[in-house]
Chain A
Amino acid sequence: MNVLKAKEIGIASIIILLCIILTIINPVFLSIDNLLDVIKGNAVLGILAIGMTLVIITGGIDVSVAAVTTAVTVFVGFLMMNLPDNFLSVVIIFIAAPLFGMLLGSINGFFVAKIKIPAIVVTLGTLSIFNGGIIYLTSGQYTNSTNFPQVFMDFSNLDIFGISILVYILFAVALCTGYILKYTTIGRSVFAIGGNQQSAVRVGINQDRVQLFVFAFMGFLAGIAAIVQIAYTKAIDPNGLAGLELTVIAAVVLGGANLMGGRGSIKGTLLGVLLLAITENGLILARIDTFWQRVVVGLIILIAVSYDAIQNKRAERKRSTIEVEDEQEAS
């Protein structure tokens, strides 16, 4: 059994190539510390991209993720102001934040599944509403860690075997989601809806429920991402994640998911996140101006997606003749 599909091997080899180049330019790159920092620094992106993968497999999209995540960070900030400095508080945060995120995600899901509005329209709307609400509640003010309970700071700095807790959280999310996709009927329904919506309904899959699920799950993971974001930045910044939704979608698409639905994998998405993360890190280590980073990331996305589109067209052409070839019946 091959662990990676052809496409994932493609991304993986680009990553390896990139790593070699970056190491030659700046040997610091290949140090374990730097690599772990890269992953830690992109844990939020990774968690959100995992949730987005499910949404995209069903053929949907969620551009409100950054807003939802920010909204949850504000909510967690409010919790921290009011919770005692006690271990239980962290537990409460870990229960309440994902649930709050799930609630916001369910709003998206409700409009997509029940009212049948295209996901892009729904989430553009909620993006605006959530952002507006955040600015109203915080007046756009930045909150730093001086107001955080010590127990949360301890959690943020927790290392196990020298690896940050945030990295473990990312991989736990990846494993659980991968498991849901492969071993539960709802996971398979996600693929079925994206692969052939009409047949999926014909075999009795409840499309509304699947759509509601992917958006709610996206929100749930946004809640976890919000905790990670606060732990990583040690602050609550109402504008800190602005524009992140595009990077999230880019990572998923780079990872081989098809925006038309049906294709996508957690492994691929993680590789997509890694590719974006390494590119960014490498450009920093190579001391290239930050605005070039955006250009390079954009180029990578365009190249990867065009390559994919061309491949698909070729495969399509190979399969297109279905008419009967006329064998004259001599009888």
Chain B
Amino acid sequence: MADYILEMMHVSKTFPGVKALDDVYLGIEQGEVHALVGENGAGKSTLIKVLAGVHAPDEGAEIFFEGEPAKIDKPIDATTMGVSVIYQDLSLFPNLSVAENICIGKDGRLPAWSFMNWKKMKRMAEEALDEMDVPIDVNKNVDDLSIAQQQMVEIARAIAFDAKLIVMDEPTSSLSHSEVEKLYNVIDKLKAKGISIIFISHKLKELFKVSDRISVLRDGKYIGSYHMDETTEEKLITLMVGRDVSYERKSRFNQIADEVVLELKQFTKKGNFKNISLQLKKGEILGITGLVGSGRSELAQAIFGLNKPDSGTLHLHGKKAKVRSSNEAMKHGIAYIPEDRKKQGLVLNQPVTNNISLPVLRNMKNPLRLLKKKDERKMADDYVERLDVRPALPDLKAMQLSGGNQQKVVISKWLATEPDILIIDEPTNGIDIGAKTEIHKLLQELADKGIAVIVISSELPEVLAVSDRILVMRQGRVVSEMSGHDASQEKIMNFAFLGSSDKEIS
């Protein structure tokens, strides 16, 4: 048996309503680069957070580091043990110098009143950077560095901290081609030093370049570990999909009218999306999917006037229109329900009634400009009944409702603006399965009533269940368009990961 630097066994993690990890195993061999893959929400981040001491696993988990049982209660326990995690959003101190950032981990353990030896600190930082062969001025503030350089500083910090295992979460997502090459060089150097690496990425191609082995997670479960030279991209994709969950698909294609409500022509925004052209018909549900970071949400925000495109035109009901703000979008009959309903969609400590009436308050004033409380209440009662919000008590505060019912309140709120077009981002994120089906049904009913709906979702079964038509986005472009009937998870994943359907269908 190979020497394992890390073995995590029987790791489960339950969040309220969701089992994020279910008896997961992860074994990392000494000195290897180990890739960790899975769809969005497969549990990669949760697993890493357990390893990093951010989340405590459920009872029964066993973690061995260098053969010894490890106890990781706090982030610092993980770092002291020799595990450094380089998060996607980085965790540097923008206001401190490179030298301080690199050495701070080590000094964190010193007593508060010890004196700092700047000379020694700079030397240590320079040594760490030298080992990686990346010249960065250690006197500079991290604020003044590029993202790629900041990442190198993080890695240098891990080295200075004597990390034995470095976890890199999507390290290449914001790097240019040449920067990615540099990162590969650094990874080689780390490997030569005997440091093991867990590499998380959506880009399968690059995984074949850098990793020795790969582990696949799906729906919070461990699927298996494979040697890179024994597997192929296609095989991995098949392992990643094939979800057990599926939702009933109701056919309703006969109701789509021929009237085009929304049309985009060559919509482009630098760094977000490129040359997006699409048509949306009255009564149609258009699913847009792709990996996180493929530009889906940015596109939705552009349609709603929150993210100004650089070029391209938007047509509403056949006429060219300008949507420069969310207010204008609402006037044009567009509603947008963002992904994070707690932060952006609801005023949690206010009653359901107030939440529903919020976007249409201006229509509810009496001649004295006071609020018509009765009308407001009537409208809320009406929506609560129509959408079957439970419990049907409009006086409850939004935070007292379950996730699914909160989402219904958010939808009610936007329906109150009487939109022609409803854009909804991750409609069932964090909602339990029963409520998901209800939301799906609701979206289809809305489409039946003639609203054109765009559903953005990472959850393929959901996209497959509700959409009449599906667009797959990858790196800011639409790489495929398919009808809801012909689509399958494998087909979508091939496009989302590889940009083509490859051999599978031809």
A interface list, Cβ under 8 A from B:
182-189, 191-192, 194-196, 198-206, 209-210, 213, 262-263, 321-327, 329
A213 near B112 (CB under 8 angstroms)? yes
- Report B280-297 CB contacts with A as 1/0, cut-off 8 Å: 000000000000010100
B89-114: which have CB < 8 Å to A? 91-96, 100, 104-105, 107-114
A188 near B100 (CB under 8 angstroms)? yes
B113 near A195 (CB under 8 angstroms)? no
B115 near A183 (CB under 8 angstroms)? yes
Residues of B within 8 A of A198 (CB): 91
Asked if B338 is at the interface of the complex by the 8 Å CB criterion, the answer is: no
Which of B75, B113, B177, B477 contacts A185, CB < 8 Å? B113
Residues of A within 8 A of B270 (CB): 321, 325
Alpha-carbon gap, A9 to B295, bound state (A): 42
- Report B54-97 CB contacts with A as 1/0, cut-off 8 Å: 00000000000000000000011001100000000001111110
Alpha-carbon gap, A195 to B105, bound state (A): 15
Q: A196-B91, A198-B91, A203-B105 in contact; A323/B111 too (CB < 8 A)?
A: no
A192 near B96 (CB under 8 angstroms)? yes
Residues of B within 8 A of A204 (CB): 75-76, 79-80, 105, 108-109
Which of A185, A201, A263, A327 contacts B110, CB < 8 Å? A185
Alpha-carbon gap, A213 to B116, bound state (A): 18
A189 near B112 (CB under 8 angstroms)? yes
Asked if B476 is at the interface of the complex by the 8 Å CB criterion, the answer is: yes
Residues of B within 8 A of A186 (CB): 112-113
Alpha-carbon gap, A199 to B476, bound state (A): 31
B79 near A326 (CB under 8 angstroms)? no
Residues of A within 8 A of B147 (CB): 322
Residues of B within 8 A of A182 (CB): 116
In the complex, which range does the number of interface residues on chain B fall in?
35 or more
A326 near B476 (CB under 8 angstroms)? yes
| Residue of B with least CB distance to A193 | B93
Closest 7 CB pairs of A and B: A204-B108, A199-B91, A195-B93, A321-B271, A195-B95, A204-B76, A326-B475
Q: A322-B147, A329-B499 in contact; A185/B112 too (CB < 8 A)?
A: yes
Which of A184, A201, A210, A329 contacts B75, CB < 8 Å? A201
Which of B79, B114, B271, B295 contacts A184, CB < 8 Å? B114
Chain A to chain B contacts (Cβ below 8 Å), 12 pairs: A184-B114, A185-B115, A188-B100, A189-B112, A194-B95, A201-B75, A206-B112, A323-B174, A323-B272, A324-B174, A324-B271, A325-B271
B476 near A322 (CB under 8 angstroms)? no
A323 near B271 (CB under 8 angstroms)? yes
Alpha-carbon gap, A136 to B274, bound state (A): 71
Give me 4 other A-B pairs in contact (C-beta within 8 A), A323-B272, A329-B499 excluded: A188-B96, A196-B93, A204-B75, A326-B476
| Residue of A with least CB distance to B205 | A329
Q: A184-B115, A326-B477 in contact; A203/B104 too (CB < 8 A)?
A: yes
Which of B75, B114, B477 contacts A202, CB < 8 Å? B75
Residues of A within 8 A of B32 (CB): none
Alpha-carbon gap, A325 to B293, bound state (A): 11
A196 near B112 (CB under 8 angstroms)? no
In the complex, what's the smallest C-beta–C-beta distance from A188 to chain B, in angstroms?
A: 6
| Residue of B with least CB distance to A180 | B113
In the complex, what's the smallest C-beta–C-beta distance from B495 to chain A, in angstroms?
A: 14
Residues of A within 8 A of B274 (CB): 326
B113 near A184 (CB under 8 angstroms)? yes
B289-334: which have CB < 8 Å to A? 293, 295, 298
Which of B94, B114, B116 contacts A196, CB < 8 Å? B94
A262 near B116 (CB under 8 angstroms)? no
Alpha-carbon gap, A23 to B92, bound state (A): 47
Residues of A within 8 A of B173 (CB): 324
In the complex, what's the smallest C-beta–C-beta distance from A316 to chain B, in angstroms?
A: 11
Alpha-carbon gap, A263 to B115, bound state (A): 21
Asked if B118 is at the interface of the complex by the 8 Å CB criterion, the answer is: yes
| Residue of A with least CB distance to B106 | A203
Residues of A within 8 A of B100 (CB): 188, 191
Residues of B within 8 A of A323 (CB): 174, 271-272, 293, 295, 298, 476
B138-192: which have CB < 8 Å to A? 147, 173-174, 177
Alpha-carbon gap, A209 to B94, bound state (A): 22
In the complex, what's the smallest C-beta–C-beta distance from A227 to chain B, in angstroms?
A: 25
